[in-house]
Amino acid sequence: MKLSEIKQLLERDGIQLTKSLGQNFLHDANQLRKIIEAADLNTNDRILEIGPGLGPLTELLVEHAGEVLAIEKDARLVSVLRRGLSAPNLRLIHDDALDFLRREAHDWSFWKLVANLPYSVASPILVELAQSPQPPERMVVTLQLEVARRLTAASDDPDYGLLTLLVQMRYAPTTPIKFPRAASFPSRTWIRPLFAF
């Protein structure tokens, strides 16, 4: 999905982005492909996507994975997704992802989290999944740079903290891939790195 298509969809439906939800849409095809490559997908994979937005990543996930569970909090975006994207291996849920994870007991051990995580809930979602009894086998996410620094911090680093400890108990972060600001809409003043855990 191109930037022009994202803007057109938002304008057509009269959708103003909500800052409190941390909405940010990744649209750059090269960066989306990097996410798919980092996830190392095959047709047997079960994918959890949190915050699909308008679905540019979701489109690629349903092409490469066996099953995709996408959770979107914004009802307006759910409506757009339901109109524009249908696939037999896609299950779209309108819910608050963090509430869903805390409310519903799941065995995520044969799942992968692949998501352009909303800024407002990235850290608690990663902790919730990392600390679950059966966590995902892999997590491939784009994050705010400051969160990424905390996740990759060594024990003697000033960025090291509770978030670092809780996620690194189960996962070892890979070297980040930095995305240019223009890869997402609205473009942000920070660079969103891609991490695979």
Mean of pLDDT values over 34-39 = 94
- Answer for the pair 194, 140: CB distance below 8 angstroms, yes or no: yes
Our count of domains for the chain comes to 1
DSSP letter at 121?
G
Return the CATH number at 159. Answer: 3.40.50.150
In a domain, 182, yes or no: no
For the stretch 47-96, pLDDT in tens is 999 999 999 999 999 999 999 999 999 999 999 999 999 999 999 999 99
For the stretch 6-32, pLDDT in tens is 788 888 878 877 766 767 788 889 999
Burial of 105 (0-12, 13-18, 19+ CB in 10 A): exposed
Which pLDDT does position 14 carry in this prediction? 83
For the stretch 141-155, pLDDT in tens is 998 888 989 999 999
Diameter over CA atoms, the chain: 50
In a domain, 149, yes or no: yes
Under the banding of pLDDT at 50, 70 and 90, the label for residue 104 is: confident
Residue 129: both structure tokens together? 């999944």
pTM of the entire predicted model: 0.90
Domain limits at 81? 3-174+192-196
Average pLDDT score, the chain = 89
Q: How far apart are CA 173 and CA 150, in angstroms?
A: 11
